[in-house]
Amino acid sequence: MAKISPLQVTPLLPGTNCGECGEETCMAFAVKLLDHVYTVDDCKPLVKEKKYAKKFAKLKEMTTPPIRAVKVGVGERQIVIGGEEVLYRHELTYYSPTAIILSAPDDNLSLIEERAKLVRDLEVYRIGTLLKIQGLAIRSKSNDPATFAKAVKTAIATADIPLILCSTNPAVLKAGANAAKGKNPLLYAATKENFKEVGQIALEHNCGVVVYSMDLNELASLAASLYAAGLEKIALDPGIEPSDGCFADSLDRFMMLRKAAIKGDKNVGWPIVTPIASAWIGKDPNLSEAERIETAFREAEMGATFIARASNMLILHSADSWLLLGLMVLRQGIYSDPRINPSVEAKLYEIGNPNENSPVFMTTNYTMTYFVVKDDLEALKLDAYLLLVDSEGICVESAIAGGQTKAEHVAEAIKESGLENKVKHRIIIIPGLAARISGELEALSNWKVLVGPRDSGGIGAFLKAKWDGKLDQLMQEWKEMQEE
Amino acid sequence: MENEKFSEFQKRLNKLLANVNEIILKNIVIESEELEFQVGREGKGAIPSQIMQMMRPMLGAVKPILAEIAWKQVEFANPADTYPGEIVEVKFIRSGRGGKVITIGGEKVPPYYRFEGENPHPPVVTADVFDIPVNTKTRPTFLRLAKPVKDHLLQPEDVTTDMAAWAKKSVEVFGAEMITLHFIGTDPTIPEKLGGKKPPKWAAQNLEEVLQTVDVPIVIGGSGNHEMDPKVFEACAQVGEAERLLLSSLEMETYEKIAPIAKKYDHNVLAWTKLELNDQKKLNSELMEMGIPKDHIIIDPTCATLGYGLEYSFSIYERIRLAALKGEESLQCPMSGGTTNAWGAREAFLPDRDHPEWGPRAYRGPLWEIMTAYVLSMCGLDLAMMLHPGAQMGFKSIVKALTTKEKGPTVNPLEWITMEV
């Protein structure tokens, strides 16, 4: 939709400005439609009234993104993969964050249960957002339909999460799809050998299917064949090999698919699924810890590759928390909207109900810095002042090194904030990463500077050691500073 | 009773339909969980695919038993683009016998886009060496390094009190291709007792020792102090006259003083801007106008860390590289980034006891630095300024996977479904 203008959309809307969508005018709806706030179906008259049928169809086609969106799972945890419109993040933004999927073999029910619980429960709170894992891939190591069905049932009994059912044996996939009736799983994978049978299962259960081939002609043909047969939920796997050189070929196939789709090749205009679990193919189950970590690092690097290139789904073998943390944090960044400024207003913020004896903290106005510090102060149930100094929206370390935040800026901010009328003391706590401006800041501001911890997580311990019950002593030091 | 009623209904329905060929249903809503259409699988009874396409909106909840799915052969066309622009090659040179030369840049297509063409040089790592001791147990210091980093430098013996020893270990043990000497101790605002206020002459002496100890190219890092940096660079440029050093860095406020030094002694410069593409264009153009050859300039648009703005760097690097390949001449230089910044992220340096749910710092720390460096290399980073030896190796390993011409073992990717682990 990047290249469509609201002027092209408006003639296809009813033009009655009925307001049913919540917007005052059809033009306003058009603008937000192109901004992904609405979908075409949100214009009720267009959907309902027969006279608009042609316009509806045309608008729907016009606004279908080059990478079509596919839903997996049901209910609250349902995910949408795809929907991307651009090759590069800065050209617009990426819309549907890469789904991170854990996996477990069907012959290990306790692991299925453990992983399903992990997917259900894992939450990492970061900068105002909860980071989560999206689903579970059950892989048919047994190649036995009954074993597979049992594993699928175990997962469903444990958690209501999106499932990816993995086998190339249609009998296994059929048993799995039956066990996951009504759960809208994603079938993995249809190949040139099994696509007729697997396609039937997908049609029968109205669920999505991943087509697989390392040959892109064959992959495009598989997708085209299933689409012609009536399937509307398709995803592509061009085969991910982990080893040197082979991984480069895998990334090439991935990028060719994505680029072709963005340029308009409808046959491959589907989400891409990247099972980076392939890093573990051929590994001994009893491999040494060192080798295990080395392989996990390779898997993490493969994961970073595909998140950075907007893959729609990663399927992992590892479930190590350090690895998941890294991938989730990378995803949070890459999928943040580049059109939004990363800074918050540089001013004095109140945490809790501060009074004239409350501590005063200073940091920079980079959004992430602000959220991290604010969350940490609130977690301590502190009453405090937090002074944000304008760093042009970058973090403390870079702002100090880069000169966006100098002692003079902080001194100025203290003056402008009116802090000198709000607190009785003249003590300011600055981030440990801003230590180098402390001397100059004391000279310019006439406040005593306490260098705080490098990380705001250490503020509690810091206050205990340096602040609590020491205000008089600190003010005495401040007075001595005046005399000097 | 129910069954009887139903069979009666069915009989009457059959009677009604006996002479009917076609039924048209109008304004009918069918509400059911399952609805089966019995149609033939092949031949006459099969639903043609055009009809299937038309029925698609209706069939949301319906499960049709279909005709056999047919193979539809289509062709996939390689979407490769061509690029009119090219990145210059920049060389870092060690003089004398056996002196190493490292070349970066020369790209013709975006990083790792082998389907569009071949780039001549993979990204290179330059390893950090600081001029301030880091062992907080032996003396107070301005520089606080994370424990996973210190573990490599303080064991079996502390190499951080001697830049040459630190550089030697980085090259010989950790395999560094280049060394960055950070003279942060020359910052006059850092107290002497914490390692600061060192004179430029002191930097030059250290450089001299390092040059005698290792044979890899050297980057000279200043303290960021605008008054002192030109003096430090001048002293080092002179001592390293026979080499081609990289002076790191100059910026809008300092280039007028530093560029002439680089020009006089034929060194490379690192042009640093703060996440602002237009500033970078301007700075590079100014440098070229002052007579610094394009192939002596490295761009540093600022490396923010994973979790703390990496995405802003990501998009700036990507925009710069794509603009350069599309022909923007002022940006056709290789790029660098201080990926060491990753260790400023709490997820990298906080000890395990603070966040047990994050997993061991021994892994998440290096992972943070690898990801920061690697993800930027996907957008055009050519020279990664790195700190942790394990992270350097990890970064080089994934870069090799994407740039080597020799292939490792091939596997059937589908085997992940059935693998034993």
What pLDDT digit, counting tens, does each position of A289-329 carry? Answer: 999 999 999 999 999 999 999 999 999 999 999 999 999 99
Please report the pLDDT score of residue B34 as a whole number. Answer: 56
- Assess A141–B contact: CB distance below 8 Å, yes or no: yes
pLDDT for residue A164: 98
B74 and A267 within 8 Å at the Cβ level: the answer is yes
CB of A196 less than 8 A from some CB of B: yes
How does residue B42 score in pLDDT terms, banded at 50, 70 and 90? very low
Nearest to A99 by CA among A152, A139, A135: A135
CATH of the domain at A356: 3.40.50.11600
A205 & A58 share domain: no
Q: What is the mean pLDDT of chain B?
A: 90
Q: What is the pLDDT of residues A61-74, one digit of tens each?
A: 888 899 999 999 99
Contact B226, B251 (CB under 8 A): no
The answer to whether A203 contacts chain B (CB < 8 Å) is: yes
Per the listing, tokens 């703005």 go with: B309
Out of A245, A263, A265, closest to residue B404 by CB = A245
> A292 and A173 in one domain?
yes
CA distance A395 to chain B (A): 7
Pair (A52, A160) in one structural domain = no
What is d(CA A372, CA A319) in angstroms, rounded to the nearest whole number? 26
Q: Do A87 and A218 share a domain, yes or no?
A: yes
Q: Which of A220, A329, A457 is the closest to B74 by Cβ? A: A220
Whole-angstrom Cα distance, residue A209 to residue A165? 9
* Beta carbons of B187 and B225 less than 8 angstroms apart: yes
Which residues have C-beta within 8 Å of that of residue A473, sequence separation ≥ 6?
none
- Least reliable range by pLDDT among A16-30, A102-116, A337-351: A337-351
Model confidence pLDDT, tens digit, residues B378-421: 999 999 999 999 999 999 999 999 999 999 999 999 999 999 99
Q: Can you tell me the distance from the alpha carbon of A39 to that of A18, in angstroms, rounded to the nearest whole number?
A: 17
State residue A153's pLDDT score.
Answer: 98
Q: Could you tell me the two tokens for A235?
A: 């995803």
Output the DSSP codes for B327-376.
T-GGG-S-EEE-GGGGGGSHHHHS-TTT-GGG--HHHHHHHHHHHHHHHH
Of A225, A237, A457, the CB nearest to B72: A225
Separation CA A130–CA A121 (nearest Å): 11
B35-49, B304-318, B340-354: segment of lowest average pLDDT: B35-49
Residue B105 has pLDDT above 70, yes or no: yes
What's the mean per-residue pLDDT of chain A? 94
Residue A420 lies inside a defined structural domain of this protein: yes
Q: Is residue A212 over pLDDT 70?
A: yes
**Number of other CB atoms surrounding residue B130 within 10 Å:** 23
Residues A196 and A330 in one domain: yes
The pLDDT tens digits for A237-289 are 999 999 999 999 999 999 999 999 999 999 999 999 999 999 999 999 999 99
| CATH code, domain with A12 | 1.10.15
| In a shared domain, residues A175 and A267 | yes
Structure tokens at B192: 């002497």
Question: Is residue A1, in this structure, part of any structural domain at all?
Answer: no
A289 in a domain, yes or no? yes
Q: Does B57 lie at the interface with A, CB-CB under 8 angstroms?
A: no
In this prediction, residue B22 carries a pLDDT of 65
Closest Cβ opposite residue A457 in set B81, B344, B346: B346
* Residue numbers in B near A431 (CB within 8 A): none
Judged against a pLDDT cut of 90, whether residue A123 lies above it is answered with: yes
Closest-approach residue (CA) in chain A for B71: A225
3-state secondary structure of B282: helix
Instruction: State the average pLDDT over residues A459-465.
Output: 94
| Tokens at A417, concatenated | 């904030």
Residue (of B338, B275, B326) closest to B109 by Cα position: B326
pLDDT in the model for residue A36: 75
Mutate to test the interface with B, among A330, A341, A372 (most CBs of B within 10 A): A330
Between residues A12 and A457, the one the model is more confident about: A12
Please name which of A309, A308, A255, A247 lies closest in space to residue A276, comparing C-alpha atoms.
Answer: A247
B72–A282 CB contact, under 8 Å: no
Q: Distance from A455 to chain B by nearest Cα, in Å?
A: 7
Give the per-residue pLDDT at B35. Answer: 54
Work out the number of other CB atoms within 10 angstroms of the CB of residue A288.
9
**Domain ranges, ordered by start, for chain B:** 2-68, 89-403
Give the closest of A281, A285, A338 to B411, CB-based. A281
| Domain-located, residue A224 | yes
Per-residue pLDDT at B41: 36
Assigned domain for A430 exists: yes
In B209-318, which ranges are E strands? 218-221, 246-250, 268-272, 297-300
Query: Which residue carries 């060491």 as its tokens?
Result: B340
The mean-pLDDT minimum among A16-20, A432-436, B23-27, B390-394 falls in B23-27
Which of the residues B32, B49, B69 would you substitute to probe the A interface, choosing the one with the greatest number of A C-beta atoms within 10 Å?
B69
Distance CA A99, CA A207 (A): 17
Assigned token pair, A87: 């090759």
* Better-predicted residue by pLDDT, A482 or B175: B175
Angle, alpha carbons A78-A83-A87 (nearest 5°) = 140
Q: Does A332 touch chain B (CB under 8 A)?
A: yes
Q: Do B52 and A229 touch (CB under 8 A)?
A: yes
Range with top average pLDDT, A11-20, A98-107, B183-192: A98-107
Cis status, amide bond into B111, omega within 30 of 0 = no
Q: Closest residue of A to B372, CA-based?
A: A330
Pairs across A and B, CB distance < 8 A: 314
User: Which helix (H) or strand (E) covers residue B385, if one does?
Assistant: strand B381-386
Given a cut of 90, whether residue B220 has pLDDT beyond it is yes
Same domain, A234 and A189: yes
- Record: contact A224-B74, CB cut-off 8 A: yes
Closest listed residue to residue B379, CA positions, set A304, A264, A340 = A304
Tokens of B245: 């050093």
Query: pLDDT confidence of B24, banded at 50, 70, 90?
Result: low
A57 and A75 together in one domain: no
Range of the domain at A303: 70-334
A330 chain-B contacts, CB cut-off 8 A: 306-307, 310, 371, 375
B314 and A334 within 8 Å at the Cβ level: the answer is: yes
Residue type for position A372: V
**Count of alpha carbons within 13 angstroms of residue B403, beta-carbon side:** 19
- Find the closest chain B residue to A253 by CA distance: B115
Tell me how far apart the alpha carbons of residues A441 and A305 are, in angstroms, rounded to a whole number.
43
Is residue A97 within 8 Å of residue A312, measured between CB atoms?
no
Question: Cβ of A395 under 8 Å from any chain B Cβ?
Answer: yes
* Nearest CB to B76 within list A220, A322, A398: A220
In a domain, A150, yes or no: yes
Residue B179 makes CB contacts below 8 A (sequence gap 6+) with B126, B127, B129, B167, B170, B171, B210, B214, B216, B217, B218, B219
Q: Is the peptide bond before A189 cis (omega within 30 degrees of 0)?
A: yes
**A248 CB within 8 Å of a chain B CB:** yes
Of the candidate ranges A330-344, A408-422, B297-311, the one whose mean pLDDT is the lowest? A330-344
| Residues A72-81, mean pLDDT to the nearest whole number | 96
Q: Which of A88, A87, A72, A80 lies closest to A39, judged by CA? A: A80
- Answer yes or no: is pLDDT of A193 > 60: yes
Cα distance between residue B399 and residue B397, in whole Å: 5
Closest CA to A365 of A349, A381, A348, A388: A388
Min mean pLDDT across A389-393, B33-37, B226-230, B417-421 is at B33-37
Let me know: does A389 contact A400? Beta carbons within 8 Å: no
Mark whether A136 and A256 lie in a shared domain: yes
**Any idea which residue has 């006259």 for tokens?**
B241
Contact B364 A322 (CB under 8 A): yes
CA A136 to CA A226: how far, in whole Å? 24
Please state, for a pLDDT cut of 90, what percent of chain A lies above it.
81
Residue B58 — very low, low, confident or very high, per pLDDT cuts 50/70/90? low
> Of A279, A303, A334, which closes a domain?
A334
Please state, in angstroms and as integers, the Cα–Cα distance from residue B376 to each residue in B330, B332, B343, following that order: 20, 17, 16
Query: Does any domain span residue A340?
Result: no
- Window 441-480 of A: residues touching B by CB (8 A cutoff) are 454-455, 457
ipTM above 0.95, yes or no: no
Do the Cβ atoms of A114 and A72 come closer than 8 Å? no
3-state secondary structure of B85: coil
Q: Is the pLDDT of residue B23 over 70?
A: no
Do A265 and A118 belong together in one domain? yes
Span A50-59, average pLDDT: 92
Homologous superfamily of the B89-403 domain (CATH): Dihydropteroate synthase-like (3.20.20.20)
Query: C-alpha angle A325/A337/A68, rounded to 5°?
Result: 90
- Map chain A to HEC letters: CCCCCHHHHHHHCCCCCCCCCCCCCHHHHHHHHHCCCCCHHHCHHHHHCHHHHHHHHHHHHHHCCCCCCEEECCHHHCEEECCCCCCCHHHCCCCCCCEEEEEEECCCHHHHHHHHHHHHHCCEEECCEEECCCEEEEECCCCCHHHHHHHHHHHHHHCCCCEEEECCCHHHHHHHHHHCCCCCCEEEEECCCCHHHHHHHHHHHCCEEEEECCCHHHHHHHHHHHHHCCCCCEEEECCCCCCCCHHHHHHHHHHHHHHHHHCCCHHHCCCEEECHHHHHCCCCCCCCHHHHHHHHHHHHHHHHHHHHCCCCEEECCCCCHHHHHHHHHHHHHHCCCCCCCCECCCCEEEECCCCCCCCEEEEECEHHHHHHHHHHHHHCCCCEEEEEECCCCCCHHHHHHHCCCCHHHHHHHHHHHCHHHHCCCCEEEECHHHHHHHHHHHHHHCCEEEECCCCHHHHHHHHHHHCCCCHHHHHHHHHHHHHC
Could you tell me if A234 and A122 lie in one domain? Answer: yes
CA–CA distance, A72 with A420 (Å, rounded to integer) = 56
> Which residue from B minimizes the CA distance to A268?
B76
Residue B294: predicted pLDDT: 98
Q: Exposure string (b/e) for A339-371, b if CB count within 10 Å is 16 or more? A: eeebbbebebbebeebeeebbbbbbbbbbbbbb
Confidence of residue B40 (pLDDT cuts 50, 70, 90): very low
The reply to whether A322 and A179 lie within a common domain is yes
Question: Count of alpha carbons within 13 Å of A291, Cβ hemisphere only?
Answer: 9
**pLDDT for res B52:** 53
User: Is the Cβ pair B322, A404 closer than 8 Å?
Assistant: no
Of B79, B274, B350, the CB nearest to A259: B79
**Total domains, chain A:** 3
The percent of residues above 70 in pLDDT, for chain A, comes to 99
What's the predicted TM-score (pTM) here?
0.85
Token pair 């998140």 in the structure block, residue: A307
Q: Report yes or no: A448 and A476 within 8 Å, Cβ to Cβ.
A: no
Within 8 A of B310 by CB-CB distance, chain A residues are 330, 333
Q: Are the beta carbons of B419 and A282 separated by less than 8 Å?
A: yes
A224 contacts chain B (CB < 8 A): yes
Q: Which span out of A433-437, B125-129, B130-134, B350-354 was modeled with the highest average pLDDT?
A: B125-129
Q: Which residues of A touch B312 (CB under 8 A)?
A: 338, 342
CA distance A20 to A13: 13
Query: What is the percent of chain B where pLDDT is above 90?
Result: 75
